[in-house]
Amino acid sequence: MKTLVWTVMTYGAEGWTIKKKQEKKINSIEMWFYRRLLRISWRERRTDQSILEELNEERKLLNYIKKRKLTFFGHTCRSKCLLMKNILQGRMEGKQQRGRPHINYFDNIKSWTQMTTREIYDVILERDVWRQMVHKAVRAANVLGSDAG
């Protein structure tokens, strides 16, 4: 399943802006895959936790997407392509729209790493430190996800 389905489903995930609603949908589709794998009908009223225990599995799809996105962001920020950096950072010419700003790509990065903008750019320049930060952020999300699941 991970070889075939996840690769197709997460194609281009590095560029996604993930909101809470999308996180729920990603977690839901992962559980739907597991239910289909075990041929469990929704009418059986089994909890997600019981299915994960039966498979001896954890929710991994969202963390897989987060890891790919964080890795790609670090790679892009270290590159010399100024246009790509500006696009990912959401810098645009012109006036800002009225109202609450939309969640953007960089908001995901800040919330997952729990760092300020300055700290992120300092860490990104050192590849090994950024790699450790990515693993730490994904592990933290995994612990939070297993508590909430």
80 inside domain: yes
Do 53 and 73 fall within a single domain?
no
Do 86 and 132 fall within a single domain?
yes
CB 125 within 8 A of CB 132: no
Do 122 and 110 fall within a single domain?
yes
Reported pTM: 0.82
Residue 20 burial by CB count (10 A; 0-12/13-18/19+): exposed, middle or buried? exposed
pLDDT of residue 91: 65
Stretch 22-45: mean pLDDT: 91
Model pLDDT for residues 79-123, shown as the tens digit of each residue: 887 777 777 666 667 777 788 878 888 899 999 999 998 999 899
CA 23 to chain centroid: 8
Stretch 45-62: mean pLDDT: 90
Do 49 and 66 fall within a single domain?
no
Do 45 and 113 fall within a single domain?
no
**What pLDDT band is residue 149 in, cutting at 50, 70 and 90?**
very low
13 inside domain: no
Q: Give the separation between CA 90 and CA 115, rounded to whole angstroms.
A: 18
Domain, as residue range, for 115: 59-93+105-149
